[in-house]
Amino acid sequence: MHIAYVDEGYDAYHYRLAAMLVEPDQVNPLSQTLYELAGTLAAKHGIHAEEFHAYEIHAGEGPWDGVPLRLRIWAFTKILEAVRAAGVKIALVGLDRPNPRRRGWPTDAHVHLMGQLFSQLDHFCGQCGDHVIIVADEHDATAATSRELVRNMQLSRGASPTRHLRVIDTVHFVRSHESRPVQAADLLAYLFRRDAAGLDTDPRAKKVMERHLAIVSPLIIAHHLAATPDPWC
């Protein structure tokens, strides 16, 4: 069995959901490694990061305000290396819109991508005769979005009892600050969304991006880019 920790990353042009599949016996070691990293950052550098949030690390905001770029890159890299060491697998789904007519993404986009992710995870687990439990960050999703998502998944099963047989139960929402693996999924979603956006044009920044992608890209077992319906553009 696997546990899939899911988080999102998006801007006006690109939306990515990343699922980090971890075998149950690797969840606690991964969490422990990340807690130890947080302890090292606090003890040696005075960085009290109760939660690893990709945007804050990258932008130098929150607990990372005033932290040198080199140290922030080091921390980001160590988190990705911990993910690789845990032997995880990564599934990605996404939407792109080159010329958005609206700034934000509608609720339906998140629900749609979670449905796509369900299918990807179900297909993978079906191939290897396994099952998966899905744990997702609820930070950026309103309660209404969460309820709609769960309802849609339940309805899809009711309409076709053979669908999603490898996904156990439904989506379990947690606060990201309570789960180090969810925080790691946030870094993955951010990394792949930023790569899709092509924001790193400086040669040094591109080299860091390439190094980070080299760590986690070999772990990808599914990458699905969905068609973006016109009303969402």
Domain chopping of the chain, boundaries:
2-228
Q: Could you report the per-residue pLDDT of 127-156, keeping only the tens digit for each?
A: 988 999 999 987 555 556 666 666 666 666
Q: Which residue's entry shows tokens 């040696």?
A: 44
The C-alpha atoms of residue 14 and residue 138 are separated, in whole angstroms, by 20
Do the Cβ atoms of 183 and 47 come closer than 8 Å?
Answer: no
The structure tokens listed for 210 are 């390439």
Q: Is the pLDDT of residue 81 over 90?
A: yes
Q: Which of 106, 136, 138, 143 is nearest to 118 (CA)?
A: 136
Based on its alpha-carbon atoms, the radius of gyration of the chain, rounded to whole angstroms, reads 18
Most confident of 140-144, 157-161, 185-189: 185-189
Q: Which of 59, 93, 77, 74 is nearest to 196 (CA)?
A: 93
The structure tokens listed for 9 are 């990353």
If you classify domain 2-228 with CATH, what class do you get?
alpha beta
Q: In which band, very low, low, confident or very high, does the pLDDT at 172 lie, cut at 50, 70 and 90? A: confident
Q: In which band, very low, low, confident or very high, does the pLDDT at 157 lie, cut at 50, 70 and 90? A: low
Handedness of CA 43, 139, 231, 113 (dihedral sign): positive
The structure tokens listed for 71 are 């140290």
